[in-house]
Amino acid sequence: AQSVTQLDSQVPVFEEAPVELRCNYSSSVSVYLFWYVQYPNQGLQLLLKYLSGSTLVKGINGFEAEFNKSQTSFHLRKPSVHISDTAEYFCAVRPTSGTYKYIFGTGTRLKVLA
Amino acid sequence: ETGVTQSPTHLIKTRGQQVTLRCSSQSGHNTVSWYQQALGQGPQFIFQYYREEENGRGNFPPRFSGLQFPNYSSELNVNALELDDSALYLCASSLWGGGSEQYFGPGTRLTVT
């Protein structure tokens, strides 16, 4: 079984400041890792994904994440946030084989302050 | 290329009723998954369909059922609605295999009164 923990339910940050959203996971099998963003009243949009290879993954909108296998973490970072980054961010894992059963964390609400 | 679409956008039902939600997959995608997202929570996997057959199910009772059609569109049916079924229902389509990502629709907001 897999589980995903997003320790921070809310993260307030001032515009142009850096931000890190934390994600830890647990799994008995090999997994792929994902970060999704959800704007109000919308579906989920993929920010980035880790399948294999380089542990530093770059995504859309200037976001990046680093996979750390020993710490079972996949933290999301952005060096300088904008007001438009205000949204809910979800970390998810999926086994590398079998059903496309994504396991999502409970989400982190990023609020960018002017 | 059209994205994933869902209908209706919003729906209000009474406890005990039945509801059908619809999803049109992104062009070329042969796999569809359904998720329930309660307020303030992450999406919870309901089930997945591939080649018109259920291929994996989350921890949801049998009154949650689905269909996938030859054109890869899909339906989610929920019988005997309960108040706790109130949620955003998300459909996601993808290609079967590998690290193929899922593309999500905008969701259907179901309110059960």
Instruction: Measure the CA–CA gap between B83 and A101, rounded to whole angstroms.
Output: 25
Taking CB atoms and an 8 Å limit, are A45 and B104 in contact across chains? yes
Q: Under an 8 A CB cutoff, do B105 and A99 touch?
A: no
B15 or A102: which leads in pLDDT:
B15
Task: Give me the pLDDT at residue A59, please.
Answer: 95
* Residues in chain A within 8 Å Cβ distance of B104: 36, 43-45
For residue A28, give its domain range: 3-113
Say whether residue B93 is in contact with chain A using an 8 A CB cutoff: no
Handedness of CA A85, B7, B74, B63 (dihedral sign): positive
Report residue B98's pLDDT band, with 50, 70 and 90 as the boundaries. low
Q: Do B55 and A103 touch (CB under 8 A)?
A: no
Q: Report the percent of chain B where pLDDT is more than 90.
A: 79
pLDDT of residue A100: 72
Who's near A48: CB < 8 A, 6+ residues apart?
A34, A35, A57, A58, A59, A60, A63, A64, A65, A76
Q: What is the pLDDT of residue B100?
A: 76
Q: What HEC string does A48-111 produce?
A: EEECCCCCEEECHHHCEEEEECCCCEEEEEECCCCHHHCEEEEEEEEECCCCCCCEECCCEEEE
Q: How far, in Å, are A4, A64, A81, A94, B23 from residue B89 at the CA level?
A: 20, 28, 30, 19, 10
CB contact under 8 A, A44 and B43: yes
Q: How many structural domains compose chain A?
A: 1
Q: How far is B105 from chain A (nearest CA, A)?
A: 5
pLDDT for B1 beyond 70: no
Give the one of B44, B55, B104 whose C-beta lies nearest to A43's C-beta.
B104
Residues of chain B in contact with residue A105, where contact means CB-CB under 8 angstroms, are 42
Q: pLDDT tens digit string along A46-100? A: 999 999 889 999 999 999 999 999 999 999 999 999 999 999 999 999 988 877 7
What is the edge-to-edge ordering of all strands in the sheet holding B5-7? B5-7, B19-24, B74-78, B64-68
| Confidence at residue A97, expressed as pLDDT on a 0 to 100 scale | 81
Closest CA to B109 of B14, B4, B38: B38
Least Cα separation, residue B9 to chain A (angstroms): 10
pLDDT in tens, B43-83: 999 999 998 999 889 999 999 999 999 988 999 999 999 99
Mean pLDDT value across chain A: 93
| pLDDT for residue A99 | 72
Does a cis peptide bond (omega within 30 degrees of 0) precede residue B8?
yes
Query: Which stretch of DSSP H or E encloses residue B111?
Result: strand B108-112
- Dihedrals phi, psi of A54, to nearest 5 degrees: -55, 135
Q: Determine the residue of chain A that is closest to B10 in CA distance.
A: A41
pLDDT band at B36, cuts 50/70/90?
very high
A34 and B43: CB-CB below 8 Å? Answer: no
Task: Look at the block and give the residue holding tokens 């307030």.
Answer: A12
Q: What is the CATH number of the domain that holds A16?
A: 2.60.40.10
- The more confident residue out of B39 and A77 is A77
- Which amino acid is located at B69 in the chain? F
Lowest mean pLDDT among A13-17, A30-34, B74-78, B108-112: A30-34
